[in-house]
């Protein structure tokens, strides 16, 4: 839980072009104020030749999770493994590591449907994942390289790590990297919890960060209260802040303000 940037892209290119493109992406990243930019890794090259650092760990990179509409109207998730993946990571202390990459995928995958158990009224009572009949699922990725990932930047704002200035470096550097990737001709989609990707107003970004800090602290504090003596086992990055208790108390007023805004919006009705 925390303020996060989600991003994805796809582009129709061949493996050689993908290798050139990922090199260009990394060159862009190296010019931005990240604390660390990793080397490029390559997974399962189609020609059997690794042009970058070989990645052969059991956890595979570049997979997709696609939503599928079933015949009964329900939704289920289809996992689409990557065929070839090229990627590197960037990081600012306190924020999550953001992965940047390109991966190809099969045009069709064999998917086993979920077995859904239902109550007498027809509502879902349980689901056994992948235990049903096999079906062929078209991925719509033939000839494409794509990537999707996310990065939680909120906890770069910990005062121990440099506070709001460090958060701004993490959040804005990531958005600048995504902007410059898009400038290469790739169609980048961004969903930013702070909406900074749309308005590009630093003051609004900081106000949003402060609200998120207060809300998360309140949420974590409420869970801790519910756990009682076992709350010491609760692990949350927000608890590492020296001002955690102040933020927790502030969270109530932030939530009240949000609720009041929603009431006003409801009274006003649709535009």
**Residues 136 and 161 occupy one common structural domain:** yes
Give the residue-averaged pLDDT of 41-48. Answer: 96
| Packing angle of the helix pair 202-227, 244-268 (nearest 10 deg) | 110
Q: How many structural domains is the chain composed of?
A: 2
* Domain final position from 183, 199, 215: 199
Give the pLDDT confidence score for residue 229 in this predicted structure.
61
144 and 245 co-located in one domain? no
135 and 53 in a common domain: yes
Same domain? For 95 and 133 the reply is yes
* pLDDT category of residue 1 using cuts at 50, 70 and 90: confident
- What local confidence, expressed as pLDDT, does residue 242 receive? 87
**Are residues 193 and 225 both part of a single domain?**
no
How many Å separate Cα 20 from the centre of its chain?
25
Task: Please indicate, yes or no, whether residues 89 and 192 belong to a single structural domain of this protein.
Answer: yes
Judged by average pLDDT, the poorest of 129-133, 174-178, 236-240, 255-259 is 255-259
pLDDT at 247: 87
If asked whether residues 101 and 163 sit together in one domain, one would say: yes
Burial of residue 41 (CB within 10 Å: 0-12, 13-18, 19+) is: buried
Q: What is the average pLDDT score of the chain?
A: 92
pLDDT score of 228 more than 80: no
pLDDT at 231 over 70: no
Average pLDDT of the residues in 50-71: 95
Half-sphere exposure of 95 (CA within 13 A, CB side): 33
pTM of this prediction?
A: 0.87
- The CA R_g of the chain, rounded to the nearest whole Å, is 22
- Which pLDDT score, from 0 to 100, does residue 122 have? 83
- % of the chain surpassing 90 pLDDT: 71
From 199, 220, 246, give the residue that closes a domain: 199
Domain boundary among 176, 199, 222: 199
Residue 219 pLDDT exceeds 90: no
- Does 116 share its domain with 183? yes
pLDDT of residue 146: 97
Q: How far apart are CA 253 and CA 242, in angstroms?
A: 20
Is the pLDDT at 176 greater than 80? The verdict is: yes
Answer yes or no: do 58 and 122 share one domain.
yes
How does residue 265 score in pLDDT terms, banded at 50, 70 and 90?
confident
Kindly report the number of other CB atoms within 10 A of residue 220's CB atom.
Answer: 22
The per-residue pLDDT for range 116-170, each reduced to its tens digit, is 898 988 888 998 998 999 999 999 999 999 999 999 999 999 999 999 999 999 9
Pairing of strands 41-43, 53-54: parallel
**pLDDT at 256 > cutoff 90:** no
pLDDT at 150: 97
- Per-residue confidence (pLDDT) for residue 152, from 0 to 100: 97
pLDDT at 53: 98
**In a shared domain, residues 183 and 111:** yes
> b/e string for 90-103 if b means 16 or more Cβ within 10 A?
bbbbbbbebbbbbb
Domain shared by 162 and 68, yes or no? yes
What range does the domain containing 113 cover? 4-199
Looking at the fold, whether 62 and 117 belong to one and the same domain comes out as yes
């Amino acid at each position: 839980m925390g303020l996060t940037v989600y991003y994805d892209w796809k582009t129709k290119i061949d493996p050689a072009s993908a290798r050139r493109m990922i090199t260009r992406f990394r060159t862009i990243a190296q010019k931005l104020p990240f604390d660390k930019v990793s080397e490029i890794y390559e997974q399962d090259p189609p020609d059997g030749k690794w042009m970058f650092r070989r990645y052969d760990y059991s956890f595979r990179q570049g997979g997709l999770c696609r939503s599928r509409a079933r015949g009964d109207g329900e939704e289920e998730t289809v996992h689409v493994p990557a065929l070839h993946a090229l990627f590197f990571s960037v990081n600012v202390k306190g924020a999550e590591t953001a992965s940047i990459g390109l991966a190809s995928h099969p045009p069709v995958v064999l998917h086993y449907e979920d077995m859904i158990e239902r109550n007498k009224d027809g509502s879902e009572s349980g689901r056994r994942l992948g235990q049903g009949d096999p079906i062929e699922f078209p991925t719509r990725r033939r000839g494409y390289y794509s990537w999707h990932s996310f990065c939680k930047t909120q906890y770069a704002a910990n005062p121990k790590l440099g506070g709001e200035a460090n958060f701004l470096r993490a959040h804005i550097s990531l958005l600048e990297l995504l902007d410059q990737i898009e400038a290469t001709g790739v169609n980048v989609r961004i969903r930013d919890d702070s909406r900074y990707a749309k308005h590009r107003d630093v003051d609004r970004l900081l106000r949003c960060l402060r609200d998120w800090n207060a809300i998360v602290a309140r949420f974590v504090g409420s869970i801790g209260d519910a756990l009682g003596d076992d709350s010491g086992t609760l692990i949350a990055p927000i608890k590492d802040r020296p001002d955690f208790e102040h933020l927790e108390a502030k969270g109530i007023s932030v939530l009240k303000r949000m609720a009041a805004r929603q009431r006003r919006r409801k009274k006003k009705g649709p535009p």
